[in-house]
Homo-oligomer: A and B are copies of this chain.
Amino acid sequence: MHSPIKLGILGGGQLGRMLLLAAANYPVETYVLELAVDCPASLLCQHFVAGDIRDYDTVYRFGQGLDVITIEIEHVNTAALHALEREGVKVIPSPTVLDTIRDKGLQKAFYDQHDIATSPYILTEKATDLINHLDMLPAAHKLRTGGYDGKGVQIIQNASEAHLAFDKPCVLEQLVAIDKEIAVLVAISQTGDMAVYPPVEMVFDPKYNLVDMLLSPARLTNSQSKLATDMAVNVAQALGSAGLYAVELFLDKTGNLLVNETAPRAHNSGHQTIEGNYCSQYDMQVRILLGLPLGDTAIIAPSLMLNLIGADGQVGVAKYVGIDQALAISGLYVHLYGKTLTAPGRKMGHITIVGKKETDLLAMGRSVKDLIQVLAD
């Protein structure tokens, strides 16, 4: 392997930060494009470029001269990526995949086209469209583009809540009676090799619509686990590009599995792979980008992940109360994202606990959640 490969990352959040920490082990020269100079990734890359990832010229200029570009958020200028790809820069995942996925309407249509089970939906153009589709309620109204981390999603229970609808192009998705939310990470290499992580199980915080705790592996029957894995593989293969794909699925109360949505990158549901699996999702993404063999997705030990989220009513320089006590727990790992300022619901870091039995993990996770608070100093 000849060094170094010039790797560009669009976006400078925590996913980019953890990708850079994994990339540090390889012969690679890292470049990050992000508007916010004090973003989580800026101090761990070799070359930081301040600029808007949604701007054609900025992305195009950033990509010229790089060997390979990836993303840590979907909301980037894909037209510039198409141009760079035509000029010989590797873009992983391909801009075509990003075009499909970052528009939730196109993403739903993609599942339909490929016979991948997903919840019933219709598209709406403006808020008043909703009154023609009251039969879909209760439903989730989701902005087709620009939503992130639970933002851009509005639950509409019944007709009396129709005024909550977004007045922008949206997907209206029928709510599913959810038994479990699970996620499957699929890696596809540049040569088409594939590696699949065992399914994980998510618990959402209904308040912030954020993943609250995550358990690896998911508590599924063998057949559920196999079906979820097969569906995730179908999604990743149908997308037709090298990349790392986080496929989120619902197991509904009647036992059906439905694909919810797919992220074409490292994902919040894969943080626990850093300690819990032989090859972390970030290491895997680096391997894909550099054309190295895929890593081993096997679980080393069951693990639990919880996000550290800015507490309600707290805005300002972050302090992390209770971290000290938490760190006395064997097998507990703290990952802070280097964000200076906290705000309610902001993802400031995460905790992973490994090496315990599943029931112990869940109990420990709950007590650690009560122990740690992200407050303003």
Return chain B residues, CB-CB under 8 Å to A24: 17, 21, 44, 338
User: In angstroms, how far is the closest chain B Cβ from the Cβ of A331?
Assistant: 6
Q: Using A1-B320, A3-B319 as known contacts, say yes or no to A27 and B336 having CB atoms under 8 A apart.
A: yes
User: In angstroms, how far is the closest chain B Cβ from the Cβ of A364?
Assistant: 14
Return chain B residues, CB-CB under 8 Å to A323: 1, 292
Q: Using A1-B319, A321-B1 as known contacts, say yes or no to A25 and B327 having CB atoms under 8 A apart.
A: no
User: In angstroms, how far is the closest chain B Cβ from the Cβ of A287?
Assistant: 7
Contact indicator per residue, chain A 11-53, by CB within 8 Å of chain B (1) or not (0): 0000001000100111100000000000000011110000000
Q: Using A21-B24, A331-B296, A355-B278 as known contacts, say yes or no to A3 and B43 having CB atoms under 8 A apart.
A: no
Return chain B residues, CB-CB under 8 Å to A319: 1-3, 27
User: In angstroms, how far is the closest chain B Cβ from the Cβ of A367?
Assistant: 16
User: In angstroms, how far is the closest chain B Cβ from the Cβ of A315?
Assistant: 16
A56 at the interface (CB under 8 A from B): no
Q: Using A46-B43, A287-B327, A328-B293 as known contacts, say yes or no to A26 and B334 having CB atoms under 8 A apart.
A: yes
A366 at the interface (CB under 8 A from B): no
Taking a contact as CB atoms under 8 Å apart, the answer to whether B327 and A293 are in contact is yes
Return chain B residues, CB-CB under 8 Å to A278: 330-331, 354-355
In the complex formed, the residue of B with least CB distance to A323 is: B1
User: In angstroms, how far is the closest chain B Cβ from the Cβ of A277?
Assistant: 11
User: In angstroms, how far is the closest chain B Cβ from the Cβ of A264?
Assistant: 23
A324 at the interface (CB under 8 A from B): yes
Taking a contact as CB atoms under 8 Å apart, the answer to whether B3 and A318 are in contact is yes
Taking a contact as CB atoms under 8 Å apart, the answer to whether A1 and B324 are in contact is yes
Contact indicator per residue, chain A 335-377, by CB within 8 Å of chain B (1) or not (0): 1101000000000010000110000000000000000000001
User: In angstroms, how far is the closest chain B Cβ from the Cβ of A257?
Assistant: 29
Taking a contact as CB atoms under 8 Å apart, the answer to whether A298 and B330 are in contact is yes
A300 at the interface (CB under 8 A from B): yes
Chain A interface residues (CB < 8 Å from chain B): 1-3, 17, 21, 24-27, 43-46, 278, 287, 292-293, 295-296, 298, 300-301, 317-321, 323-325, 327-328, 330-331, 333-336, 338, 349, 354-355, 377
Additional A-B contacts beyond A2-B319, A3-B318, A27-B319 (9; CB < 8 A): A1-B319, A1-B320, A1-B321, A1-B324, A3-B320, A27-B320, A292-B324, A293-B327, A298-B330
11 cross-chain CB contacts under 8 A: A1-B321, A3-B317, A17-B24, A25-B333, A26-B334, A27-B318, A27-B336, A278-B330, A278-B331, A295-B330, A300-B301
